[in-house]
A and B are shown apart, each in its own frame.
Chain A
Amino acid sequence: MTAVAGRPAPGLRRRAAALLHRRPLLRLSLLLSAPLAWLVVAYLGALGAIFLTAFWTTDTFTGEIVREFTAVNFQTLWDEPVYRTIALRSLGVAVAVTAIDMAIGLPMAFYMAKVARPRHRPMLVSAILAPLWAAYLVKAYAWRVMLAEGGPVDQALEPFGLSGPGYGLTATVLVLSYLWLPYMILPVYAGLERLPGALLDASGDLGARPLRTFRTVVLPLVYPSLVAGSIFTFSLSLGDYITVKIVGGRSQLIGNVVYDNVGAANNLPFAAAVATVPVVVMLGYLAAARRTGALREL
């Protein structure tokens, strides 16, 4: 690697290459510089700033932000029953959506990974994946059409003497479960696919019935993938305010409170305080999920 090199390489490039070759730490710093500047300095900085704003207030008269440190926003959040109700409702919705998606997603993923013929599997995966590419709004809108008074759902249920849920909280849970279902199925499918079929056979050979095999072999091994899926369903539900607006009637979730306080009420500090609720919940959730190894399944 000295002057013998056949071609006269451009000097600068050569020196840079040699330098990079000799100094792995320099290579690493160069690689990390831009991503860290963007994601840590800019993004985390922005998150930190908005968290700081939560401790400021808005002058109700002038609409200007008063930069004095106070916990009054959090106090309001805690004291006002309205906000407590909305926070609990949002949590309830997120939990319900996650539970529904697990209940539907797990058997579907299991069918795809272990029951369907291997050559059908890629097709099934595409069939689950495909709706993810159709826009989120389009799907929420589709349900608005479906659930409209006298719409397809009402008409389908009419012969049974039933009617659809109409627009409201039930519809919100339904539509959110619909929207995030693929996010649950795909990691679980990936986890199940990695699970050796021999384990299931062994469990069966040792006399376990399918249900028992499922409970003691499949479930523990696929648990990290389930948690990974639930990160999506939980987080996406917790921050949503669009679906509620489209099919939720007059119901409000945390997202709506944040949105209304940024826009109509022009109270960014309070909006920021409200927004810390889902962040704290999600950070707790991620910390718990990390211990199961779920973050590697994302």
Chain B
Amino acid sequence: MTLSPAARIALRAVMALGLAVIYVPLLVVLVNSVNADRAFGWPPSGVTGRWWSRALDNEGARTAVLSSLKAGLGATAIALLLGTMAAFAVARYRFFGREAVSLAVVLPIALPGIVTGIALSNAFQVVLKPLGIGLGLFTVIVGHATFCVVTIFNNVLARLRRTGTRLEEASADLGADPFRTFWHVTLPGLRSALLAGGLLSFALSFDEIIVTTFTAGPGARTLPIWIFDNLFRPNQAPVVNVVAAALIVLSVVPVYLAQRLSSGGRSML
């Protein structure tokens, strides 16, 4: 498109400014994690590794990371199963209420987290408590899986629509039964979509705090809950800072993976 040089420059400036605003706060956290000044005076008075070693020894932070990993993996496993099944149904069949299935999958993430949170927490109290299952890691996983399904659903659905059914028909013509076709033809074709969706699902779960607040019992503290609990305690500030900085640094890993997976692909969800 032919834009005037002025318009080009203006757009470029907005882009540059936008990116700067996105990254400066994250940089500030990174710098503060090695800020020698205890009260995080700005600009920093010097560099120290003291906070990092203190954070590594922090028992609470370590268990919280472990809980978050378990919750993320559990929720993603469930979401992979449910999301793929729903995507197949919607992509390959015509039936009454097909649109409604898509809506039901999107709903848990479209509704405010606090609504999902109190609804699930209430349901758990009513249904699971009589069975002797209290709020804990299990309920967190169930809650997270509910809103993670959409990530897998969307990725798999997009892939199924793009690839069509020709390969599967060919496989059937060559004598493979549905199971064999699924295992050797359909699944390999879905691999990168499942990985991309799973990655996003894990990230969503790892990051989630609102639904978690309502579905986690006192025993299950995920990392976001731990951070939030310690956010307003001045003497924990350096450790919180290091945990935040570490999460920023670690977020490079999924970004890199997502980039490799989605080369040529689409879709944030």
Contact = CB atoms under 8 A, between A and B. Distances in A.
B122 A39 contact: no
Interface string B1-33: 111100110111011001101111110110010
A200 B1 CA distance: 6
B258 A108 contact: no
Instruction: Give the interface size bracket for A toward B.
Output: 35 or more
A293 interface: no
Contacts of A13: 177, 179
Contacts of A16: 179
Given A111-B12, A272-B118, A298 B18 contact: no
B122 A46 contact: yes
Contact of A104 (B2, B10, B18): B18
A239 to B, nearest CB: 2
Interface stretch (B52-60, B103-111, B185-193): B103-111
Contact of A108 (B8, B14, B267): B14
Main secondary structure of the interface of A (DSSP, over half): helix
B195 interface: no
A14 B178 CA distance: 10
A231 B110 contact: yes
Contact of A32 (B101, B209, B227, B251): B101
Contact of A20 (B83, B85, B178, B203): B178
Given A46-B122, A53-B122, A178 B21 contact: yes
Contacts of B107: 39, 43-44
B210 interface: yes
Interface string B207-243: 1011001100000000110011001000000001100
A240 B114 CA distance: 8
Interface string B77-103: 000011101101100010100000111
A55 interface: no
Contacts of B240: 141
Contacts of B244: 135, 137-138, 141-142
A76 interface: no
Interface string B112-138: 111110111111001000000000000
Given A204-B1, A239-B114, A131 B26 contact: yes
Interface centre among B8, B28, B126, by most A CB within 10 Å?
A: B28
Interface string A261-296: 010000010011001001100100010000000010
A65 to B, nearest CB: 10
A282 B3 contact: no
Contacts of A83: none
A35 B82 contact: yes
Given A21-B177, A255-B112, A129 B268 contact: yes
B167 interface: no
A19 to B, nearest CB: 10
A144 B32 CA distance: 12
A137 B224 contact: yes
A92 interface: no
Contacts of A46: 119-120, 122-123
A28 B89 contact: yes
B15 A45 contact: no
B187 to A, nearest CB: 15
Contact of A122 (B21, B86, B263, B267): B263
A201 interface: yes
A168 interface: no
B221 to A, nearest CB: 13
Contact of A145 (B8, B40, B88, B146): B40
B209 A136 contact: yes
B62 interface: no
Identify the interface centre among B21, B110, B266: most chain A CB within 10 Å of its CB. Answer: B110
Contacts of A148: 40
Nearest to A17: B177
A66 interface: no
Nearest to A282: B111
A150 B41 CA distance: 8
A148 B108 CA distance: 34
A86 interface: no
27 contacts: A1-B175, A13-B179, A20-B178, A21-B178, A38-B82, A44-B104, A46-B120, A50-B115, A50-B119, A104-B14, A110-B11, A111-B14, A133-B251, A134-B251, A137-B224, A137-B228, A137-B244, A145-B32, A146-B25, A150-B42, A204-B1, A242-B210, A258-B114, A259-B114, A279-B111, A279-B112, A298-B269
Interface of A: 1, 5, 9, 13-14, 16-18, 20-21, 24, 27-28, 31-32, 34-36, 38-40, 42-47, 49-50, 53, 104, 107-108, 110-112, 114-116, 122, 124, 126-139, 141-146, 148, 150-152, 155, 178, 181-183, 186-187, 190, 197, 200-201, 204, 210, 213, 231, 235-236, 238-242, 246, 255, 258-259, 262, 268, 271-272, 275, 278-279, 282, 286, 295, 298
Closest 5 CB pairs of A and B: A239-B112, A142-B25, A17-B177, A46-B123, A133-B251
